[in-house]
Amino acid sequence: MYQYNNVAVYQSLGSAKFNCYTDKLLNCYIVYFFLKNKLMYTELTEDTLQNIVNDNEKVVVQYGATWCGNCRIMKPKFKKLAAENDAIPFLYVDAEKLPESRKLAKVDNLPTFAIFKNGELVNQVQSNQAESLINLFNELA
């Protein structure tokens, strides 16, 4: 666990969870700090995806929801791909809880995987197949 100005950051197996006791701006800073330092996989807790996409050359996103069975099936595969490509931020966005982040890729089905390059949506795929995710990721090369 890391502590920063009343913010507890828990990191385990490549993911981080944020507990903020102050304001949302500080929480956003912590997410930004860890992504800039190449944290390979992060589950967003705030609608900050636009800022992260703008601040990173490449970003890969899985949109899911807690009730989505296929999202739960794909999450470990997404994390594995993140672990193999630690120079690119991989983000999990709960599409039900973070509507502004969901709008960036015009998500209408789950799970949806999206790739962003230089602040713009490049492509997305709605699939429960690891091969589709890998093919999408290869478009960033």
Active site residues: 68, 71
E-strand stretches of 21-119: 41-43, 58-64, 90-94, 112-117
The angle at the Cα of 11, spanning 128 to 117, to the nearest 5 degrees, equals 50
Please identify which residue in the block is written with the tokens 């828990």.
10
Contact 104, 50 (CB under 8 A): yes
How far is it, in rounded angstroms, from Cα 141 to Cα 136? 10
- The per-residue b/e assignment along 4-39, b for 16 or more CB within 10 angstroms, e otherwise, is eeebebeeeeebbebebeeeeeebbbbbeebbeeeb
